Amino acid sequence: MADLDPKDKKMKSVIGSYQFKDRIRCGLSNCHTPHAKGYIAVTEDGYETNIGQDCGKKYFGVDFETLSRKFDRDVIEKENRERLWIFASRLKELDEKIDNIRGSLGGDWIYKNIQALTNLNQGCPLGVVRRMQAMAKSRNGLITTQRLATDKEVDELSTIQGRAIEKPYYIEEPLAEIQGLEALYPENDLRVLLVKGLGNDIKLFREKDIDEMSYEELAKWAKWLGTVEGTLAQAELAVVAGKKLLSADNLEPLLAVIDQKDDALGFTVFLRSLLRKST
């Protein structure tokens, strides 16, 4: 490439960029500083040379900054457009993946049963709903029960605490621990992940003309594209957790904390509609 004197030349455009492992010297005659990253620039009289970013700013000032910025912007725009076209060609495959996640005993079934388990008047008794809401809020699936302490236990506790403990005294004991509780956490809401979130975004994306998108739109959708696989992975983990949670064996210990006979019968009916074994 030409060995240019920046005093005699004016920048016309930046036509490329490079980044090498080994350093090469700057193409400006009054510089020649070795660098590994820079641009290929063209002068108004048709000469080409390589220029490091610092040299370009120093010797060509605003012209170089404007042209190099435009080149970088054009490259990013082109790359984002290509990424989105590749993604668009795989939308059918993505639809199938989402359908599989939502399918038989999957996301839709889990969402429906979680609603019954955590909302009033949707299939589960008040005591169970309140207990599940509290567990989800505290992120603790431990079920405990109370029993009357024996005289010996009360005496031992009084000695340990150095004070007289009044009777009757009740001891709280662990009964069981509910598995898959993370399926109830807000960040694992399958409707939000797959329908309100990913599903709606895909619908909006389908309505867009990629070739007509502005730089800003391309950047926005390219950023969204980077979240798709993470959303799918989170939904898949939420389904795994949901199947663990919605096992009759897993939820059966809750019967021990239901006071009303009718509530226990109602919850038994709900348990019969669930998976019989954790998966």
CA distances from 69 to 76, 152, 214, 218 (A): 11, 81, 17, 17
Residue 85 has pLDDT above 50, yes or no: yes
Residue 187 φ then ψ, to 5°: -70, -10
pTM, 2 dp: 0.76
Residue 175, classed as helix, strand or coil, is strand
pLDDT tens digits for 115-150? Answer: 999 999 888 998 899 999 999 999 999 998 888 988
pLDDT tens digits for 65-83? Answer: 787 788 888 889 999 999 9
Rg (CA), the chain: 33
Name, in order, each residue with C-beta under 8 angstroms of 25's C-beta and a sequence gap of 6 or more: 32, 33, 34, 35
Write the DSSP string, 59-75. HHHHHHHHHHHHHHHHH
Residue 54 tokens, joined: 């610092």
> What was the pLDDT predicted at 278?
45
Q: Provide the terminal-to-terminal Cα distance of the chain, rounded to the nearest Å.
A: 66
Residue 279 has pLDDT above 50, yes or no: no
> What was the pLDDT predicted at 132?
94
pLDDT tens digits for 15-39? Answer: 777 777 777 777 666 667 777 677 8
Domain ranges for the chain, please list them. 11-70, 90-139+180-272, 142-177
Give start and end residues of each alpha helix (H) in the chain: 53-89, 91-102, 107-118, 126-138, 151-161, 190-191, 200-206, 215-245, 248-251, 261-272
Residue 265 tokens, joined: 């019968």
Cα separation, 105 vs 187, in Å, equals: 20
